[in-house]
Structure 1
């Protein structure tokens, strides 16, 4: 069986759309027809070579998506043929089957336990979560990374209660999801900080109460105007060390908390003034919002189905065909949209 896929052959070069020979399933692997894939900023970092030396080139990409099960390998009990599933880089229950190797003529193409920039993909059982057949597969693609990372950073890590204040540094895909979670938890005020006015307008539509354009305003001065003692919580979703400094300075002394969500580029160092810790401020790191697929993903789907989460900000931009993957990466890098969606039914 062959499949069309977007392959990273060399950093800083366009992904190549090629036909790959799909390998036979090993124990614990599942063959999935991918319906939709999200594009995370992590893929921009990989594409640009900002994650350090890449020993796996050439390789497939993509770590959040949705689709339906075509075939299951030996030992798989979590999913069945025709199930609708979320594909997520975050490990859940089931066999950890590792990655795969596809064939591109006489060349090998590596793939991790999950890749979603290919129309048919071999996925490790522990990266799949079954969802109701009536849940939108387009929405489900976001539950693979953006939602669990953003929602989880609030629900699982920060855990604010109603009436507490929160500042969100960077309202891309993950940042917008933290804003949704903050609204669900009853936070007020909810402050969004970004350089791109269009993203701030999306944040406003989601329910953010205050907007700060970091290209025009002094961020810390504006936050102190809104919350004179500093905010209770700050979520850092840009991955930039200078913004991490702003985030910890923005929270109140004696109990203010910062959650670091964004991924920094390889080799970047965050220099922290220890006085911020002496003031009783706390810093939390998180990997995927501490979300657990088997515990959390259906809850996130239910929040979306009941309207508690406004996913329109993600779904209103045009979707991209697989051949448009390089445009999607460029548009995401330039801040033109928050989370590109690839429709794998369109080549």
Structure 2
């Protein structure tokens, strides 16, 4: 059996769209039909080589989607054929299986425990969480990362409390999830900072109380003026070292600066470490420390209760054949959330 797939053959080059041979299922593996997949900033990072040279080329891409289970391998017990599922990159319940290995003729195409830029995918059982059939697949894709990472960074990593002041810098995909998470957690005020007005406007829709366009005004001055001082919790989703240095300045002496965005492998930032000795916290966030099989049902309850509309987060949609154009739109800053529809 073959499936159309987007393949990263060379960094800083467009993805190839080709048909790959799907391997037979092994222990703990699951065949899933992908129905919707979000394009994440992480994929832009893979293409651009943010983490350095890629030793796994050529390989498949994508780590957040909604789909339907078609077939299960040996010992799989958490999902069955016909189940609707969230495909997520953070490990959840079930077996950690070996990564699938696809082929084009005799050429090996590598993959991780999950890839989603393809119509059919072989996924490790623990990268799947079952959801009710009436949950749309785009919402499922948002639950895979945007909401679990954004909410988790706020509630698990930073442990934001009611009434604390929050600043989110970079309110595209994950940043928008962090804004919403802070609002739902009872933070006040919630300041959104970005260089794109349309992203700031969307952040306002999802709970930001104040907006700062850092193209037009100083982040440090604007936040200090709004709060009368530094913030309790600051989230950098840009991965930009110059921005991180500013973020450190607007974090209170007992506050937390969370690095959610990923800096390029050859970049550095400079800061005075003395405040660390007196309670100021600087830490990274990996997926918001989310626990998918625990968090996804919780967030679904919020959606069903009408607390927010995840569909309103989506700005663009494309087919698999249009993925390179969609990536260019993301790179330009125009897109907030782009869904590949299958």
- TM-score, scaled relative to structure 2: 0.97
Counterparts of 1:1-347 in structure 2 under 5 Å? Answer: 1-253=1-253, 255-278=254-277, 280-315=279-314, 317-344=315-342
Query: Do the aligned residues in 1 keep the contact of 2:87 with 2:141 (CA within 8 Å)?
Result: yes
Provide the aligned C-alpha RMSD in A.
1.3
For 1:280 and 1:289, the matched residues in 2 are separated by 21
For 1:5 and 1:50, the matched residues in 2 are separated by 22
For 1:90 and 1:28, the matched residues in 2 are separated by 16
Q: Can you give the 5+ residue segments of structure 2 that lack an aligned partner in the other structure? A: none
Query: Deviations for 1:144-164, whole angstroms, at most 9, x for unmatched residues?
Result: 111111010111122222221
Query: How far off is 1:325 after superposition?
Result: 0.7
Query: How far off is 1:208 after superposition?
Result: 0.7
Query: Do the aligned residues in 1 keep the contact of 2:255 with 2:279 (CA within 8 Å)?
Result: yes
Give the 3-state SS of the residue equivalent to 1:258 in structure 2.
strand
Query: How far off is 1:106 after superposition?
Result: 2.5
Query: Do the aligned residues in 2 keep the contact of 1:249 with 1:276 (CA within 8 Å)?
Result: no
Single out whichever of 156-165 and 33-42 deviates more from structure 2. 156-165
For 1:216 and 1:313, the matched residues in 2 are separated by 27
Query: Do the aligned residues in 1 keep the contact of 2:176 with 2:203 (CA within 8 Å)?
Result: yes
Give the 3-state SS of the residue equivalent to 1:324 in structure 2.
helix
Q: Can you give the 5+ residue segments of structure 1 that lack an aligned partner in the other structure? A: none
Aligned residues: 342
Query: Deviations for 1:19-43, whole angstroms, at most 9, x for unmatched residues?
Result: 1111100110000000000111010
For 2:260 and 2:176, the matched residues in 1 are separated by 12
Query: Do the aligned residues in 2 keep the contact of 1:135 with 1:305 (CA within 8 Å)?
Result: no
Query: Do the aligned residues in 1 keep the contact of 2:244 with 2:269 (CA within 8 Å)?
Result: yes
For 1:198 and 1:159, the matched residues in 2 are separated by 29
